[in-house]
Amino acid sequence: MKHDCTVRRATPDDLDEITAMWAHYIRGNRNNPAYRSIPPDAIEKRRELFRRHVEGQDAAVFVVDRPDGGLDGMISCCVEKNVPYFNPPSFGRIQTPYVRPEARGRGHLNSLLDAAYRWARGMELTEVRLFTSALDELPNRLAEELGFEAFGIIRRKSISWDYPAGGPPEDL
């Protein structure tokens, strides 16, 4: 069931709650290799990034207001430069889509994505990229339903000093 919701740009007064939602997002995605080994000061660093997105010219954070004055969801977006040999030269990066579990199923994610899309259009961007976990089936299915095309998967491997056997080649 979908309900009307109020989506607005976040203000500095929202930073504590936005940061708390990000912490819930990280806990909910703890099986994602990107979030398995975050530094102890990650929350403070992310709060600073949110502050820059809230106050910056080339970024925005959108939130869904809750009737009691709190927040039910958020999404962060910023202008990101593309590598010089690809077009478009810059794109809208949409990340950290989060809706509190008790508020899901009401269309909040769609409303947040609509706000991010309108923001990107207002920034005169020609493309947006939604960053989701490769391991989380639901967000990826929703992204495809909303018209986002998967065009790459980033894979990572930690450096192990005992692999390959024998250490680095002599000519390095």
Confidence at 8, pLDDT banded by 50, 70, 90? very high
User: The sheet that has 59-65: what strands, in order across it?
Assistant: 7-9, 59-65, 71-81, 90-99, 128-130
100 within a domain of the structure (yes/no): yes
Residues 6+ apart with CB under 8 A from 24: 98, 100
Is 82 inside any structural domain?
Answer: yes
Q: Are 131 and 76 in contact (CB under 8 A)?
A: no
Domain-embedded: residue 170: no
Residue 2 within any structural domain of the chain: no
In a domain, 172, yes or no: no
Phi, psi of 77 (to 5 degrees): -145, 150
| pLDDT in the model for residue 138 | 80
Structural domain contains residue 31 = yes
Question: Which pLDDT belongs to residue 5?
Answer: 85
Which amino acid, one-letter code, is at 72?
A: D
What pLDDT is attached to residue 47? 96
Task: Please enumerate in sequence order all residues whose Cβ is within 8 A of that of 121, keeping only pairs 6 or more positions apart, or say none.
Answer: none
- Number of other CB atoms surrounding residue 139 within 10 Å: 18
pTM of the entire predicted model? 0.86
Range of the structural domain that residue 55 is part of:
7-145
Please report, for the domain that includes residue 118, its CATH number.
3.40.630.30
| Residue 164 belongs to some domain of the structure | no
In a domain? residue 167: no
Total domains in the chain come to 1
Angle, in degrees to the nearest 10, between helices 42-55 and 15-28 = 130
pLDDT tens-digit profile of 86-110?
Answer: 999 999 999 989 999 999 999 999 9
d(CA 12, CA 63): 12
